[in-house]
Every structure is written in structure tokens, then in C-alpha cells.
Structure 1
Amino acid sequence: MKKITLLFFLATLSVLAQKTKKPNIILVLADDISAREFPIYKSDTWSSVKGNKDSQDPKIRAKTPVLDKLAKEGMYVKTAWASVVCSPSRAMLMTGRYPHLHKWWGNSTIGQYTDEDGNLGAYPLFASSPLTIGIIAKKGGYATMWSGKTQMRNKNLQNFGFDEGVFTPGEAAITEIGENPYSNFRLEQKKENGKKELINLDTGKPLDFSYYPSSSWYWKPGVMLMNHPSSKQQFEWWPNTKESKKEYGVNTYGPDVELDFIFDFMERKVKEDKPFFVYHTTHLGHASMNYLNPKQHEYKWIETPKITYKDGKYTREEPNITGEKGVYDTHNSLSASGIHSHVNYLDYQMSLYLEKLKELNIDDNTLIIFCADNGSSKYGKNSPDSQKGTHVPFMVYGPGFDFTKKGEQDVLMNLSDILPTIAEIAGVKIPEDYEINGVSMMPFLTTEKKTHRDWVYGYKDNMQLIRGTNVLKDGMDKWYDVREYPSDLISFPEINDWEKADKELVKERDYLNEILPRFNKFDEAQNGPLSEAHKKKIAKDIARKAAQKLAKKAAKSGKNKNKKSSKKNKKD
């Protein structure tokens, strides 16, 4: 009896010790996955296998028992908004700010600046917004790790506040470490006989379809380490040890590599008794070049390792891929193509997280945040239409936390809210003169507060999207009544006649219209600080592009006139 009492006492002390420490934080950001792809959001429509149309086929509906558990036992937000595409969304999350400050308006409209050496380049977030999410965590005493996709358009990855990094694919801009000697799953632009061609380095042949230069982040990935204990320099290509070099090959799967390094980091920090912050920017959800079967480029979401869920547990089948130089046999060891397979694999990885936290005895003192950066490819990604591009999943799970909210929360939140939430958890006070556009979720999560914020914001270039509890304005200045959610999460009734609209809709529209001018700075302040020479250069480039656009329009108009004239002559 005494032994049982002692064990109970020690277990109680262990739980109390966990709760007095700063909680560990794991932030998982999925890539290009709309809220509608997750069953917990109850949409009756999701993406088809190729993503070229909507589907209601239950055979290609994702199954997410673990994420469902996180959402129900933790909490999930019914209306969480990002921006409409990768780079500006990640900038919003990384800085807690909107583009009038960070200048990342769209994937191809990232503000420029003149650096300290007088060079013109993309305005880095650590320059526009020095309190990045990594810096905030470090100020709070956390060990920090960034694993997965960077999308930062800058080689100075060490400036974002992360102690360690595992980047898939590695940044080609970091030229000091040379070309990746391990993966030949790359597409490179080369000039052959005076003509530019995109070459698949694995086959040595040019592509016969349209794509873009890229390295693999799924099979046989290009992996770069930053400040890893096994590395001899700040940045190094992986595999970098005798054992890892022996195991690396076509059966190496990038998302598995990311998670292995995360778990290694977590183990080391638990041994050091140091709280950790993991920023896991997985590629899962993103379309990719299919190096295993280049001819199947129309299937956007390539196969994952095969997994099965039975009796409350996942099992994973080891990939069995053989072949070389573009001719491969997967021996039916991989999943089917489709975004549902990517969502399923994310669910499997979340189960591994839960198992690892339990193994390390930190499950009661670790907060998991799960979200995505924008809508699904060919459906919402880059779309300013309604909330197709902005509506993403958002879940918070922390069984050891005294949260007052559980399950579905019919409130509004924005990816910009994550940074101030982490700052509050970490005990970091953001200076009053440092503008943050996000709002900490801690008051909502820990009190009886019924709402979180009155409106959410999204953007694409010079387009602004905003939504309150009653109305939504999209990037094409169309307004919708959003008081009721449609079954597909998107088909809201459009408001065409404001004279006949309910007073509460008109009142909220006027309120939202008062907010928008604060952030509408694309035309007047698109770039960061520029030298006078670079201001003139950019103005000249804008004028040249405008002239080219007008010339194309005139040429097209001329062709149309000629066609009409030709048709008229034929009739005559």
C-alpha cells in the first residue's frame, strides 16, 4: 500500500512540475489545404483526385481520426482565415502583421528594398518585422527549430530566430555549401542550342510539359540542415553521416525526414530540461513534380507511403520503390494519388507526435497548433473569390491546459493571431510602439469570453478581403451574407441590392469599409526602403510593363478585328 501511495505521490509531483514549466509549443502548418478537405469541417464537397473539379465521392474523402480527436478534445475554429497563397500567408504568420508592414502582398509581388550593401532584393521579413515568431520564442527562453518548407525568398535563414533547421528542399540560394551532391530529383533551366529548356536531371531529358525549376521535397528529397549537432558547418546537405548516406535513396520520403529530425530535437531538449518551440512547415498538401512517374504530371498530389488505421492505431508500410533514371516500379507499396492521401498522411504524422509526447512524458505540457497556409490547389489557392483562398483549418490541442473552450468554436480568427498568442504563452511583452495586427487567442481560450475578434482579413496584391460575423467582401469587391454556412462552406448568397439588405448587414458593411483603408497601401507603399537609384529603376520597370501590357491588348484587339472582318467577308 505504501509503495502505491509513493508512486501516486511521485506521479502527482511529475504532473505539477510539468505545469509549472513553460509549455512546449508545436506549430504545424500544412501546405495548400482548404478547411473543406478535413471531415471535421463537415463540407459535403472536396477536391477530386486531379483537383480539376469538386467531388462528393466518399472513396476520396480524407479520413482523419487523430485530427478529429485533437479538434474535439481540444478546440477548432469554424472560420479561420489566411491569405490566398503561400508567401503572404507565411509572412502573416511569421510576423503577426499584414502586408502594409511586411510588404509580402503576393507570391510574385513581394516588396523590394535596398540592402546595406546597396543591392536590390526581396524585402526580408527579419528586416521589415524584426520580431518574427522565432525571435519571440527565443526571447521567451525557448529552444527553437524550423523543419520543412521555408518560402522565405532569402538565403539568410539564420536570421529568423531558429536555433536549428531542416529544410526540404534546401535553399539553392545558399551557394557557400555548393550544389546538393545527393539528390538528382531536380528540374533545372538549361540553355541547349540557344534555347532554354527545363531539364529533369534524373532522366537528363527536357520536359514536354509546362512546369517550373524545382527540387524534390517528397521522394529522394534535397535536404539542408542548419546548425545541427551532426553538422560541421552552419549549413550542410543531408545525408551527412555514414549511416544516413547508406540509407538515403529513392525510398527516402521528405516528410518522414522532417519528423525524424523534429523528434531528435525534442528528445535533446527534454534531456536538457529546456522548453522547445517547433515550427513544422510540412509540404504535405502541396502539388509536386512526380519524379517517379514524370508522365503523370496531371496528378497534382503524388503518392505517399501507404498507411492503414485499425483498432485506434496506424501502421505504415515500408515503401518499395525500385528503378532509376525516370523508370520506377513502386510495387503497389504507395498510396493512391490525391489530396486525400496527403491529408491522411498528415493525420498519421499527428499520431506520431502524440505517441512521442507521451513517450517523453511531456504530453500534459505541450501545446499543439495545427493550421494551413491557404486554400487547396485548383480550388482556392490564389483565389480572391469569396473565401475560397482564405478559409483554412485551425485547431489547438493541449490536454494539460485549463482551456475553457472545447470542440467547434463559431468565431473568427486569423493566422496573424498565432504570433501574439505564442508571445503571451512565452511571457514576451511586445512593445506598444511595435504594430501587431494579430490578436492573442489566450483571453478567448482561457476565460468565458464568447468571441475572439470582430473581423478577419486577407489579401492578394492590391485586392483586400475582409469578413465579419454577418458579411464578407472578397477581392473582387463582391459582398456576401455569411450569417449561415452553406453545406459546401463557400456558396454564400451574394448581396446585390443593399437597399433591400437587412440593417445588420448594412451596419457591418459600413464598419468593415472603415477598417480597410488602414491596410490598403499596395499602390503607394508596395516596397520597403529604397535608394533613389532603385526607386527610379522600379518606376521605369513599371512603366515598361504597362506599355507591354497595352501593346499586347492592342495586338489582341487587332487580331479579333481581323477575325471578325474575315468572317464577314466569308459570309458576303
Structure 2
Amino acid sequence: MKKILLTFFAVLVACQLATTKRPVRRKKGNRLSRHVRPNFLFILADDLGYNDVSWHNPEVPMPTLDRLAKEGVIMESHYTNPVCSPSRAAFLTGKYPFRTGRQEKIIMPFQPTGLSLNVTTLPQELLKLGYQTHMAGKWHLGFCANEYLPTRRGFQTFLGIYNGAADYYSHTRMSGKYHDFFDGERPAREYKNKHSSIVYGDRAVEIINDIGEKKRKRSKDDKPFFMYLAFQNPHTVLQPTLRSFKRIKTTVNQMRDVYTALVLDMDFAVQNVMRALKKNKLYENTIIVFTSDNGGSIKEGASNWPLRGNKNTLFEGGTRVPTFVHAPHLLKNPSYVNERLMHMVDWMPTFLNLAGFKGNPSLKLDLDGIDQWNTISKNISVRTEMVYNINHNVGAIRMGDYKIIFGLSGREWCCEYLVVAPWLRWIHSIPGVSERKKQIYKEHYTMLWERSKLRFERDHPSNVTGRNEEIQSDEDLYEQTTVSSVGTLNEVQLPVFNSSAVYLFNLRTDPNEQENIRDKHPEIVEQLKARVLGYFKLVVPEDGPPEVDETKLQSIDGVIPLNWCQAKFRE
């Protein structure tokens, strides 16, 4: 009898093991299992500096993002373009902006341009592979023609702003003149007085809950998803929620405190999104990427320390951004710091390969990006060279350890500033708080800041300043002499390498770009200059027409004027 029972239980256990579904966690070669394609959640901060994250600076409170970073892979050498629209174009096209005409500046509200229609985008390609695609947040790649809108460039849903900035509460721009907040292509006024970070987070949660419901019902619409969550935080205008601001440790730098509260607002939103992923059993099969569109703007409270430079410069502080990949159930080696070279253009081929793209997307789609999954998951180097940017007489590239900058690199802003300007004006924009309470908050924090200022003056008497001061560095001195006239749509100018405007750095020994070694290594300068000239064969003219007269455009019910230009196909 005992033998019969033992045999029965052995058979029972064997049957149970045979019928139990085992989650596929590892990949074959450079792809995940063909049977379970991953979801992609790409979280983009706006103007977040290198020193504005907790894994570089413990004084920055971001508990959710900190945990995700430390449980994932921190990409310490992740680069992007030095300013907003070019970076977003690089991410969504897998091409350097100088190949799409987006290499110069941001797209201004009344510029008749947008992301060229001849360029295929990441969400368009993912749709072909059976993915669902969603976006919440800041677009900033054109809206003057309907063809430029995110819902025409591959996103099935969109909620957010078309321009580069807006009031976090009223969702208007130009001092409230124009409404800039859309659900799909419909002006969405129902979100007025609700902080944009909360709105974007709530939309992400809503979509995830809907996906989870379809998954539970085994609906035919149950498809893997790509979600692009592009926060405004912590871009100016600095308007955090009162909830976050109350949790910030008050320092002598008022503006920095307000900025840090905006970072915490973003963290709260991400926390809710993570809870939704886990609740709907989507977390284990989702690859989460967090990064910034460019370096921080120090004059707006950010910090890129110890890196040199600022947003809108080609120095490391403008282009090397805090980044991590969180996918502990899909990564071969989670929880480590990765020093391998990676650029924003690499995400498109990386995601496409993981999604099941047939063939090499970099070759088939003529991309500049490289599939970096082995770099992320196995710490295998695949990129040794990259372009920071090339535009007329200005640019920078890196080959191996060496980086060359030529021409105008942009203005530098010094260090972190002691700011004693009145940075409490944002309190008056908070809805649902009485004027009496706002005044109490203002008086309270003014008192705390004054006490901090007195302590700082006592301990650092030579470092106190009443305003941000622009540093007249050598970059500013050559600004007037090395830049030729701006090219047109039919003209691409070759660079003129004025020796006073050339910088050469060894980033392995000098990551903070303190010593210009161009005179010590002229042979390396010549090698990199030749490579720059090679890239110029691929440069397309800048697509930066002047803004039109807004008074000639029609605004319906106070909405930012839409569909007033001709969309462009660029060869």
C-alpha cells in the first residue's frame, strides 16, 4: 500500500510539473523568446541634469526611480543631443538629427516645420509588428500641419502638449494666451488645474489597466505595448505640486528646491505606473527605460556637476544624461553600472529587434542607431564612435576615448548658483488653495530661506551672489568669430576648423573636460577632423524656417493655431 501511494504521488507531481507554464526569462542570441515579446515603457524627463538623480546625488529624493535604477542597469555613458526637439527626433527615428534636418534648434511655436514625413518612426514600425502604441506628455516635433501630429506619426493614442513648454496647471502657453493640451487631436480642457505630471501618470495607468483587462479576458486586442511617457518635468516654468514641495529639504538655493520638488512629482507619477504594471501582471515582461532629452539648465535650477557644460552645449553636461534600463526578469545581468557607449538613436533598432523585426533594422531602415541589447544585458561593447551633433560650422564627435568639439559649443553656466531671487511666485498658480494659505506658505518658506542664506553667508562669505551670472569663458570669446552665415534648405556648409575653436579631450582620463589637449595631439585632431568631413556627406540642410506672424493665424476658442502650414517631405 505504501509503495502504491508513493507511486501515485510521484505521478501526480510529474504531471503537475509537465502542465505548469514556466515564464521565459532569458533570450536566445540577441532576442528574447519569440513566443513572449516584451512591452516597452520609455520614460523621458525634460532638462534633467546629470546631478539631478539620486544615484548620482543622494540629496535628490526620488525613491521609486532610485529603486528601479539600482535593480536595473545604470547606463553611465548614455548620450543624447544638447537640446529638446533634436533629441526627440533622434529617439523616434533612430537617425542623427543632422540627417533629418533637425540638427539646429528646437521647433518654435510658429515655425512652419515638423519632423519630416519621409522619415519612418519607431511607433510606425512597431505597429507593423503588431504592437499597440501610446504616448502621454510633450511632443515638440511639429504641429503646424496635421501630418506632423503624434497621432499621424504612429501613436494610436496621445495626451499632452504639442509645444516645448506649457503651464503645468492651466496647460496654456504665452502667459495663458493659447491652450495647448490635446487628447488625440481634440483640445482637452477638462484637465485644467490638474498638474501635468499627475495627468500623464493617470493616463499611463488608465492604458495599462485597459491592457490588463484585455489580457485577463484573452481578447483578440491583447497585444504587446509601446508607451512613450514624456514628462514636462522638470522643465521651466517651475511649478511643482505643494505635496512635493513640502517634502523637499529647504536649502539656501530657492530655485533648486523648487526644481527638486518637480523631480519628486515625476517620481510620484512613475510610482503609480509601476503599481499598475504589477497589479495587471505586466511588470515582469516590460522593459522600462528612463532617460532625459538633454542636460540640465543650470540657470533654471538643474545641476550637471561634475560634468562641464549646460543644456544647449556640446560639452558632457549638455549631452551625457542619467539613464537606466529596468527589466530584472529579462536582463541577463541586472543591478550593475554599465560604462558602454550608447546614444539616443540606438533605442529604435534595439526595440525593433526585441519586437521581432525581420532582418537588421539598422541596415533595412538606414538607421544610425545600433542594437544595444547585448550591451545592456551582457555588458558587451558594440559602439565605439558617435556624433554629438553636426550643424554648419559647429559640432562634436567621439571616437574611442577622444572627443573633438569644433566651432560654437554654446554658452556655459557656472556650477550651481546661490539663488536668492523670489522663486515663490509659482505658489500663486496652485489651484484649490486659498490666497491666505498661499501667503502663509510664502512667508514660511521665505523665512526658512533667509535663515539658510544667513548661515551660508557666514560659512561662505566670498561665494554669495544675488543673481545668476553668465560666465564669459573662452567659448563665448570665439562665438563671434567662427560661425559663418546660417545655411538654407538648399545649402550645407563645410566646417572651417579655426584652431582657437577646436577642443580635444580624452574622456577616459578627463571625463569632466578640464584640459584641452589639441596642441599635444595634433595627429588625433587631424584624424577626427577627417572623420567629421566624412559625416558631412550625410548632412542634410537644416530645416529651420523663420517663425510666421502669429497675428495672421487663426485661433479657434483660444487653442494654439493648428494646421496652417504645408507638411514637408525631405530627401
Interval of TM-score (by shorter of Structure 1 and Structure 2): 0.5 to 0.7
Identity %: 22
Equivalent of 1:36, from 35, 51, 71? Answer: 51
Q: What's the CA shift for 1:145?
A: 0.3
Cα gap change, 1:72 to 1:97, in 2 (>3 Å):
same
- 2:292 aligned residue: 372
The answer to whether 1:279 aligns with 2:228 is yes
The question of whether the paired residues in 2 share the 8 Å contact of 1:82 and 1:414 is answered with: yes
The question of whether the paired residues in 2 share the 8 Å contact of 1:354 and 1:363 is answered with: yes
The alignment partner of 1:494 has SS state of coil
Q: Distance in 1 between matches of 2:20 and 2:267?
A: 31
Q: Distance in 2 between matches of 1:102 and 1:354?
A: 35
Equivalent of 1:348, from 264, 268, 278? Answer: 268
- 1:388 aligned residue: 317
The question of whether the paired residues in 2 share the 8 Å contact of 1:386 and 1:473 is answered with: no
- 1:236 aligned residue: 186
Q: What's the CA shift for 1:371?
A: 0.7
Q: Deviations over 1:548-568 (max 9, x none)?
A: xxxxxxxxxxxxxxxxxxxxx
Equivalent of 1:419, from 336, 340, 348? Answer: 348
The answer to whether 1:517 aligns with 2:517 is no
The question of whether the paired residues in 2 share the 8 Å contact of 1:387 and 1:474 is answered with: no
Residues 170-185 of structure 1 mapped to structure 2, 5 A cutoff: none
The question of whether the paired residues in 2 share the 8 Å contact of 1:302 and 1:337 is answered with: no
- 1:62 aligned residue: 60
Q: Deviations over 1:193-252 (max 9, x none)?
A: xxxxxxx44xxxxxxxxxxx765xxxxxx53111xxxxxxxx22335xxxxx5xx553x1
Equivalent of 1:128, from 90, 96, 118? Answer: 118
Q: Distance in 2 between matches of 1:168 and 1:386?
A: 29
- 2:514 aligned residue: 492
Q: What's the CA shift for 1:510?
A: 5.1
Q: What's the CA shift for 1:362?
A: 1.5
Match for 1:375: what amino acid? G
The alignment partner of 2:55 has SS state of helix
The answer to whether 1:225 aligns with 2:183 is yes
Cα gap change, 1:338 to 1:510, in 2 (>3 Å):
farther
Match for 1:384: what amino acid? T
Q: Distance in 2 between matches of 1:386 and 1:263?
A: 37
The alignment partner of 1:408 has SS state of strand
Q: Deviations over 1:27-62 (max 9, x none)?
A: 0111011222123135xxxxxxxxxxxxxxx8xx31
The answer to whether 1:265 aligns with 2:207 is yes
Q: What's the CA shift for 1:497?
A: 2.1
TM-score, reference length from structure 2: 0.62
Equivalent of 1:454, from 352, 361, 384? Answer: 384
Match for 2:196: what amino acid? G
The answer to whether 1:146 aligns with 2:161 is no
The question of whether the paired residues in 2 share the 8 Å contact of 1:382 and 1:460 is answered with: no
Q: What's the CA shift for 1:525?
A: 2.9
Q: Distance in 2 between matches of 1:109 and 1:427?
A: 33
Q: Distance in 2 between matches of 1:121 and 1:35?
A: 33
The answer to whether 1:410 aligns with 2:339 is yes
Match for 1:280: what amino acid? L
Q: Distance in 1 between matches of 2:103 and 2:256?
A: 35
The answer to whether 1:466 aligns with 2:397 is yes
The question of whether the paired residues in 1 share the 8 Å contact of 2:389 and 2:395 is answered with: yes
- 1:82 aligned residue: 80
Q: Deviations over 1:335-358 (max 9, x none)?
A: 985322222222222322221111
Cα gap change, 1:268 to 1:105, in 2 (>3 Å):
same
- 1:397 aligned residue: 326
Q: Distance in 2 between matches of 1:480 and 1:349?
A: 39
The question of whether the paired residues in 2 share the 8 Å contact of 1:482 and 1:492 is answered with: no
Q: Distance in 2 between matches of 1:10 and 1:253?
A: 51
The answer to whether 1:361 aligns with 2:281 is yes
Q: Deviations over 1:315-345 (max 9, x none)?
A: 99xxxxxxxxxxxxxxxxxx98532222222
The alignment partner of 1:369 has SS state of strand
Q: What's the CA shift for 1:455?
A: 2.1
The question of whether the paired residues in 1 share the 8 Å contact of 2:245 and 2:258 is answered with: no
Paired residues, number: 404
Q: Distance in 2 between matches of 1:33 and 1:426?
A: 29
The question of whether the paired residues in 1 share the 8 Å contact of 2:205 and 2:272 is answered with: no
Match for 1:88: what amino acid? P
Q: Deviations over 1:136-170 (max 9, x none)?
A: 22122111001100101123322210111102368
Q: Distance in 1 between matches of 2:383 and 2:95?
A: 15
- 1:526 aligned residue: 542
- 1:478 aligned residue: 503
The answer to whether 1:107 aligns with 2:105 is yes
Q: What's the CA shift for 1:285?
A: 1.4
The alignment partner of 1:36 has SS state of coil
Cα gap change, 1:281 to 1:184, in 2 (>3 Å):
closer
Q: Distance in 2 between matches of 1:495 and 1:165?
A: 47
- 1:569 aligned residue: none
- 1:232 aligned residue: none
- 1:175 aligned residue: none
Cα gap change, 1:434 to 1:25, in 2 (>3 Å):
closer
Match for 1:37: what amino acid? D
The alignment partner of 1:135 has SS state of helix
The alignment partner of 1:388 has SS state of helix
Match for 2:229: what amino acid? H
The alignment partner of 2:234 has SS state of coil
Q: Deviations over 1:42-89 (max 9, x none)?
A: 5xxxxxxxxxxxxxxx8xx31233222222221011121111100111
TM-score, reference length from structure 1: 0.62
Cα gap change, 1:10 to 1:253, in 2 (>3 Å):
farther
Cα gap change, 1:433 to 1:186, in 2 (>3 Å):
closer
Cα gap change, 1:408 to 1:525, in 2 (>3 Å):
same
Equivalent of 2:195, from 246, 253, 258? Answer: 253
Q: Distance in 2 between matches of 1:142 and 1:475?
A: 42
Please list every run of 5 or more consecutive structure 2 residues that lacks an aligned counterpart in the other structure.
1-8, 26-31, 215-221, 249-254, 300-308, 408-501, 547-571
Cα RMSD for the two superposed structures:
3.9
Q: Deviations over 1:293-336 (max 9, x none)?
A: xxxxxxxx222342499xxxxx99xxxxxxxxxxxxxxxxxx98
Equivalent of 2:374, from 443, 450, 467? Answer: 443
Match for 1:484: what amino acid? T
Q: What's the CA shift for 1:184?
A: 6.1
Q: Deviations over 1:256-280 (max 9, x none)?
A: 1111111111122233332111011
Q: Distance in 2 between matches of 1:364 and 1:374?
A: 29
- 1:303 aligned residue: 240
The alignment partner of 2:341 has SS state of strand
Greater fraction strand: 1
- 1:26 aligned residue: 41
The question of whether the paired residues in 2 share the 8 Å contact of 1:33 and 1:374 is answered with: yes
Please list every run of 5 or more consecutive structure 1 residues that lacks an aligned counterpart in the other structure.
43-57, 113-119, 173-182, 189-199, 202-212, 216-221, 227-234, 240-244, 289-300, 310-314, 317-334, 529-536, 539-572
